[in-house]
Amino acid sequence: MDERAFDAPGPVALARLLAREKANAVWARHPNRVVLGADQVVWDGSEVFGKPRDPEDHHRRLAAMRGQHHDLVTAVCMLGPDLDVCFDETTRMHVRADVTDAEIAAYVASGEGSGCAGGYAVEGHGMFLFERIEGDWHNVIGLPVARVLDVLRARGWRYGGVHG
């Protein structure tokens, strides 16, 4: 799915549209299962950042974030028999002001974050870019797990232990 082909009025609507498209694609092949689709976008208040297009775009975006904050929006859609739930979670990310162009160039050259919304992976080396994160850590690394569990538990799911 080419995420750049989709458009919506704002970051939450775009993330929800992308998450629903992903969930629909899987559910069409597995209609008797519960499936989950999720997607993230970065919103700086005026521009939505998805994945960087190329190294130059990657560097430009990270440099523009320096000393600023932005919102990382994750949308989740869960589909299944008698299940159609979508929600979103937003986490505020504060980028260090003292990040140098050389550090950004080295990070871009590493390739880490090139396939991620905003161009960073905080669960890896990309954490050096940030001075503070406000919100759900699990949301930042890709999935607001507690919210997913809330949806499942509201529908009767209970943990049964590890079998193996």
Structural domains of the chain, ranges and CATH numbers in brackets? 3-144 (3.90.950.10)
pTM over 0.75: yes
Catalytic residue among 2, 39, 44, 54: 39
Query: What confidence score (pLDDT) does residue 161 get?
Result: 78
Q: Return the beta strands (E) in 30-82 as ranges.
A: 35-43, 48-49, 69-80
Query: What confidence score (pLDDT) does residue 142 get?
Result: 86
Active site residue 88: no
By percentage, how much of the chain surpasses pLDDT 90? 79
- What's phi and psi for 127, nearest 5 deg? -60, -25
Does the pLDDT of residue 111 top 90, yes or no? Answer: yes
Contact assessment for residue 151 and residue 47, using Cβ atoms and an 8 Å cutoff: no
Task: Grade residue 160 by pLDDT with cuts at 50, 70 and 90.
Answer: confident
Does the pLDDT of residue 2 top 90, yes or no? Answer: no
- d(C-alpha 145, C-alpha 138), whole Å: 6
Tens-place pLDDT, residues 51-95: 899 999 999 999 999 999 999 999 999 999 989 999 999 999 999
**Mean pLDDT across the chain, nearest whole number?**
91
